Amino acid sequence: MQVPLLDLKEQNDALRPEIDAAIARVLDTNAYILGPEVSALEEELAVYCETKHAIGCASGSDALLLAMMALDVGPGDEVITTPYSFFATVSAITRLGAVPVFVDIRPDTFNIDVAQIEARITERTKAIQPVHLFGQCAEMAELQKISEKHGVPLVEDAAQAIGAKEDGKLAGAMSDVGCFSFYPSKNLGGMGDGGFMTTNSDELADKLRALRVHGSKERYYHKWVGLNSRLDGFQGAILRVKLPRLEGWSEARAFNAGRYREILGDAMISDQLILPVEREDVRHIYNQFVVRVPGRRDELRAFLSSNEIGTDIYYPVPLHLQECFAYLGYKAGDLPVAELAARETLALPVFPELRMLQLEYVTEKLIEFFKGEL
């Protein structure tokens, strides 16, 4: 049996007639950049995320960059963030000449360790940017308290967390700006690059809308130096087909995660294979189902691969140890929890269309591996 880490074909094939019609609508109107489909999608996203505004842009990476620009992050400023995330979390900061200040993660959720943040706040701290890694919110209630106490804005990297909740509140609705991605592997994936930002501030929304079109509100009059970062009409139309299905897909992911838990929880291998930890009062949307494998991660990955089971490592190198950030002066050992996670984590297939027989095959092979019945 073959079990890919992610299979987009089935999802897209099932929607093919609607997607064809959506593409035809764009061709009929010739609105290829922003336009009515994108505006309609933005309204639907604002409803979904329960925010006042949702603003499309060219990628999740740009959403983060635009958020930092909107908050006037610039040379010499510091932004507190996590070292255990996708690269764009940090490049959004460094591209503006600002300095990422890394705070280590919690060993259970892999999200930023909120208890360590306050000690790192200085008069140069311009923003705090948590990441809701793998689909589970960072501790936003605590982060909001810190943000208010110190008067430092919050930006959520919610690229993996559309629809995730903490205490009933949605990812992207718990900060100054929420940043999302439509990269095809996200829970709501486009057919190309795309992203969006959420905010409840009219002022920030206004600025973000201008920044995505070279900083102009009125064509050819530039208040700021912005980017060319717009969502295209095809993505807007296609994503409007997909958005009504998002809840069902995220439910299916959570269901699959639950099945892994039931089967593997009974298998007496919990000291060798640590399953994802859900905090209380959260809705985890399982963009990834990431387990921890102390000592034998790479061996397990090779074994699963030899059995045609797809896995991946998010992320093999923590951001503070990336070659391009050597100038920041971090060294191995500085952020031990993130460094250990980079050595131990493995993502297993959890996508919505995963068949129960496939999932059971994965668990069978995991049990075989850990019980030494090879």
Q: Is the distance from CB of 358 to CB of 326 less than 8 angstroms?
A: no
Q: Residue 319 Cβ, how far from ligand PLP at the closest point, in Å?
A: 11
Rounded to the nearest 5°, which phi and psi values hold at 364?
A: -60, -45
Q: Near ligand PLP by CB under 6 A, which window of 46-54, 86-94, 229-237, 335-343?
A: 86-94
Is position 341 an interface residue for ligand PLP (rule: CB under 6 A)?
A: no
Q: Which residues pair with 274 in a beta bridge?
A: 292
Residue closer to ligand PLP, measured from CB, 8 or 267: 8
The C-alpha atoms of residue 272 and residue 127 are separated, in whole angstroms, by 38
The C-alpha atoms of residue 231 and residue 349 are separated, in whole angstroms, by 29
Binding residue (CB under 6 A) for ligand PLP from 35, 48, 49, 60: 60
Q: Is the distance from CB of 241 to CB of 19 less than 8 angstroms?
A: yes
Phi-psi label, residue 268: left if phi above 0, alpha if psi -120 to 50, beta otherwise: left
User: In the window 146-205, what residues touch ligand PLP (CB under 6 A)?
Assistant: 157, 159-160, 181, 183, 193, 195
- Start-to-end CA distance of the chain, whole Å, equals 17
Kindly state the number of chain residues that form the binding site for ligand PLP, as judged by CB under 6 A: 15
Residue closer to ligand PLP, measured from CB, 189 or 226: 189
Q: Near ligand PLP by CB under 6 A, which window of 54-62, 96-104, 121-129, 273-281?
A: 54-62
Both tokens of 96, joined, read 């503006």
Q: Near ligand PLP by CB under 6 A, which window of 1-9, 31-39, 84-92, 361-369?
A: 84-92
Is position 61 an interface residue for ligand PLP (rule: CB under 6 A)?
A: yes
Q: Residue 91 Cβ, how far from ligand PLP at the closest point, in Å?
A: 9
Residue closer to ligand PLP, measured from CB, 86 or 361: 86
- Distances 192 to 240, 241, 331, 339, 351 between C-alpha atoms, Å: 14, 15, 36, 32, 19
Q: Which residues contact 319 (CB under 8 A, 6 or more apart)?
A: 82, 83, 84, 85, 87, 89, 90, 100, 102, 325
> What's CA 118's distance to the chain center, in Å?
24
Q: Is the distance from CB of 337 to CB of 304 less than 8 angstroms?
A: no
Q: Is the distance from CB of 175 to CB of 68 less than 8 angstroms?
A: no
Residue closer to ligand PLP, measured from CB, 46 or 158: 158
Binding residue (CB under 6 A) for ligand PLP from 82, 85, 136, 147: 85
Binding residue (CB under 6 A) for ligand PLP from 3, 22, 45, 86: 86
Q: Near ligand PLP by CB under 6 A, which window of 19-27, 42-50, 59-67, 220-228?
A: 59-67
Residue closer to ligand PLP, measured from CB, 77 or 157: 157
Sheet containing strand 169-170, edge to edge, reads: 169-170, 165-166, 282-283
Both tokens of 204, joined, read 């920030």
User: In the window 87-106, what residues touch ligand PLP (CB under 6 A)?
Assistant: 88-89
Helix (H, G, I), strand (E, B) or coil at 340: helix
Both tokens of 139, joined, read 């501790």
Q: Residue 129 Cβ, how far from ligand PLP at the closest point, in Å?
A: 10
Residue closer to ligand PLP, measured from CB, 61 or 358: 61
Q: Near ligand PLP by CB under 6 A, which window of 24-32, 85-93, 113-121, 204-212?
A: 85-93
Q: Residue 47 Cβ, how far from ligand PLP at the closest point, in Å?
A: 22
Question: Which string of x and - marks every residue 124-143 that binds ligand PLP (by CB under 6 A)?
Answer: -------x------------
Residue closer to ligand PLP, measured from CB, 349 or 370: 349
Is position 229 an interface residue for ligand PLP (rule: CB under 6 A)?
A: no
**Widest Cα–Cα separation across the chain:** 70
Q: Where are the alpha helices (DSSP H) in 50-157?
A: 60-70, 88-94, 140-150
**List of residues contacting ligand PLP (CB under 6 A):** 59-61, 85-86, 88-89, 131, 157, 159-160, 181, 183, 193, 195
